[in-house]
Homo-oligomer: A and B are copies of this chain.
């Protein structure tokens, strides 16, 4: 196989986030289940937008956040995801390229508008997300650039994109390219509800295709339908080469077949908005991994990147991540 000329390529929903400060009462009044991501249609998106407070628009999308973080850490990164050629689509394309990411997915000339995620941040820094996926769900396997995926050491798949048929087809094409080129496949389970929607297929992916799995405690317990985190760890280590399991303020655990590393969470001076915590953990981890560093160090990079992202509004880094991890570079 040829040497990888890209470190990580991500495939996921291309989304612009609209963030607003909110209250628990607002969430209850509008039937918005706290802390999770709800899929909504265009009409409901208009309705919630009309009710919510003034917003801030920042490029988002789970895998896109991860990939932007990886590029800002200094790895060579690419992203595949679908926006329309409208103003928000131009914003998305600008921001991911400005972060140093190779992004060449053609912008859709017609069809639904660029995806938007309305994010309500409550005073406890928790985020409640309602996503109108628009153009993001119009992705097809044609959007998967074979050369890009073949050239990447790791292809990172966002579980959320298993929802639309075109996303699934895109993933299957990418996984076949990875297998043919002996590249690594990484998957994030995205969300416990996403796991509920696709449990059987996700278990199959994890058992047979995925090399590096990202999940939080709730997602991994749900995937294997077990009672405890320890049982989930026991299950996952039989299948995946590496699993990086996040536990919020309890830190993270990295599990291989025969090793386990416990990583403490990085302290945060002021917890502002948890949007993107998992995404940036994956960014730090995959940056370290693609540089061939020890797994424990990969986990520490993840913890540092996650701590940066939850200290401000939005899921794209504001501080220089490279500087933040600098003291740990061997």
A residues sitting closer than 8 Å to B (CB atoms) are 18, 20-21, 49-50, 52-59, 68, 86-88, 91, 94-96, 98-99, 113-114, 314, 316, 318
Please state if A95 and B59 are interface contacts (CB–CB under 8 Å). no
Please state if A21 and B318 are interface contacts (CB–CB under 8 Å). yes
Copies in the complex: 2
| 7 pairs from A and B in contact (CB 8 Å cutoff) | A18-B91, A53-B98, A54-B59, A54-B95, A86-B86, A87-B87, A87-B114
Further 5 A-B residue pairs, CB within 8 A, beyond A55-B98, A57-B91: A50-B94, A54-B99, A55-B95, A56-B314, A87-B87
Residue of B nearest to A88 (CB): B87
Residue of B nearest to A319 (CB): B21
Measured CA separation A21–B314 after assembly (Å): 15
**Residues of B contacting A56 with CB < 8 Å?**
56-58, 314
Please state if B88 and A49 are interface contacts (CB–CB under 8 Å). no
**Residues of B contacting A55 with CB < 8 Å?**
91, 94-95, 98
Please state if A94 and B58 are interface contacts (CB–CB under 8 Å). no
Measured CA separation A54–B86 after assembly (Å): 17
Chain B nearest CB, measured from A283 CB (Å): 14
